[in-house]
Amino acid sequence: MDEFALIQSAQHGDLDAFNSLVLAYQDNLFNTALRILNDEELAADATQDAFLSAFRSINSFRGGSFKAWLMRTVTNACYDELRRKKRRPTTPLEPEGSDGDEMDAPRWLADPALTPERQLEADELEHAIQHCLDHLPMEFRTVVVMADLQGLDYSDVAVATHTPLGTIKSRLARARLRLRECLQGFRELLPAAFRLQEEPTR
């Protein structure tokens, strides 16, 4: 069954059809929420809320990119989670070690395909990128996550964030500029290919 048929069935109240769409897009929505919120539990809550909200309002979908439409629901859910988090601060995502410090690369996030050294490097780089993302204003973070992490084109990002196309271009440029400045502080973590690329520019 193609996506259009599934959407139409879901619009007639077919929960099975909607759940097929959930399975197709849950990775995208969860990873978007995770990068925006930087908290797995909150991201899972936001993703679930987003799908629930999407099912309830699926009749308002009038065509276009369904992924972009879903991204809008998850963005709204992330804003709600952040507002809730501000009202009720919770414990951080990173578990604490025996010395009470936060563990940067918890074991349960590790990729088993990598060697321990490479895993450590990858985790550190990921942590550095996430750190830089966290320091972006929310509207910049949302745009850069959708465009660069989820690969949405500008028009879909504009739909997903309810923002004019010109603003998207501007926000994306600013976000990348800030990330560039932030990542310069983690130069030693960058993969060799990126370091080599950057050498002549300095």
Partner 1 sequence: MNFRDVELLSAYLDGQLSPSDSIRLESRLASDQNLQAVMDDLRTARGLLRQLPQRRVPHNFTLTTKMAGLKAPELRVYPVFRLATVVAALLFMFTFVVNKFAPIETIHLSAAQAPASGMGGGCNNCGPAEAAPAATEAPVQPFAAPAPTEVLPSTQDNSRNLTPSTQQITPKAAVPPPVINQPSPIPSEAPVPLSWQISIGIIAVICGAAAWFLRLRSEREFQKRWNKK
Interface residue with partner 1 among 80, 104, 139, 176 (CB under 8 A) is 176
- Do 4 and 58 meet the contact criterion of CB atoms below 8 Å apart? no
Interface residue with partner 1 among 85, 118, 135, 180 (CB under 8 A) is 180
**Does the footprint of partner 1 cover residue 77 (CB under 8 A)?**
no
52 bridge partner residues? none
- Do 55 and 7 meet the contact criterion of CB atoms below 8 Å apart? no
- Do 125 and 191 meet the contact criterion of CB atoms below 8 Å apart? yes
What is the distance between the terminal CA atoms of the chain, rounded to a whole angstrom? 53
**Does the footprint of partner 1 cover residue 57 (CB under 8 A)?**
no
Nearer of residues 159 and 172 to partner 1, judged by Cβ:
172
Q: Does residue 191 sit in helix, strand or coil?
A: coil
Dihedral sign of CA atoms 177, 178, 181, 187 in order: negative
Q: Which residues bind partner 1 (CB under 8 A)?
A: 13, 15-16, 18-19, 22-23, 26-27, 29-31, 34-35, 40, 44, 47-48, 51-52, 55-56, 109, 111, 122, 125-126, 129, 144, 147-149, 151, 153-154, 169-170, 172-174, 176-177, 179-180, 183, 190-191, 194, 197-198, 201-202
